[in-house]
């Protein structure tokens, strides 16, 4: 995880250094943040007075200083504000749909659900379609256990064939990994 974060930050740093003088905005660009301070979460120095362009829900350009923005593009003056990479919570047990937007509100843009159920797969699908405000979700299967499983909702496995069938069912159902 730490290595992946460092690579992402290095990529963002590369983008900020490699941007051309004339920014290329088109009709896809929906937001431009100006005067924002970008925090380097790997421990490097903060970068003040940066401009961040977002198109189609993706950061398309990061550069130092001001830019000329075409008519119709929303500009947000972020003087005194900070921007960080999206955070991931890598061990979540979450079962309350109505509170999912709180992850986003607190900068958590991705979660790894550690005891998943079919309704979690539904949440992910609805999030992907833009119908539910929630972080990206990597979802574990229900727990695979032996006979007399400890947790309700777990798969109880007693034989090698049951284990093989269970893992295939988990894969076919859309879970990301076996728990």
Better-predicted residue by pLDDT, 69 or 141: 141
What pLDDT was estimated at residue 27? 52
- Tokens describing residue 78: 């972020």
Q: How is the beta sheet containing 136-139 ordered, strand by strand?
A: 87-92, 108-113, 136-139
Which CATH architecture fits 2-83? Roll (2.30)
- Tokens describing residue 15: 């983008």
Contact 37, 47 (CB under 8 A): yes
pLDDT in tens, 143-158: 999 999 999 999 999 9
Alpha-carbon 72 to chain mean position: 28
Written out in words, the top-level CATH class of the domain with range 87-173 is: alpha beta
pLDDT in tens, 25-64: 555 558 999 999 999 888 999 999 999 999 877 888 899 9
Better-predicted residue by pLDDT, 28 or 136: 136
Domain segments of the chain as ranges: 2-83, 87-173
Whether the domain at 2-83 and the domain at 87-173 fall into the same CATH topology: no
Kindly report the pTM of this predicted structure.
Answer: 0.71
Distance CA 86, CA 75 (A): 21
- Tokens describing residue 35: 């005067």
């Amino acid at each position: 995880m730490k290595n992946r974060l460092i690579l992402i930050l290095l990529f963002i740093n590369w983008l900020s250094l490699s941007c051309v003088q004339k920014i290329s905005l088109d009709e896809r660009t929906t937001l431009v943040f100006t005067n924002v301070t970008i925090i380097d979460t790997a421990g490097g120095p903060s970068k003040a007075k940066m401009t961040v362009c977002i198109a189609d829900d993706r950061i398309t350009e990061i550069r130092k200083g001001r830019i000329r923005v075409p008519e119709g593009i929303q500009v947000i003056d972020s003087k005194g504000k900070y921007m960080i990479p999206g955070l991931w919570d890598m061990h979540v047990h979450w079962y309350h749909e109505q509170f999912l937007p709180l992850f986003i509100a607190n900068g958590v843009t991705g979660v790894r659900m550690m005891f998943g159920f079919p309704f979690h797969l539904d949440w992910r699908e609805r999030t992907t379609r833009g119908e539910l405000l929630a972080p990206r979700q990597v979802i574990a299967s229900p727990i695979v256990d032996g006979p007399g499983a400890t947790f309700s909702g777990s798969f109880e496995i007693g034989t090698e064939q049951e284990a093989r069938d269970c893992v295939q069912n988990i894969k076919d159902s859309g879970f990301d990994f076996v728990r």
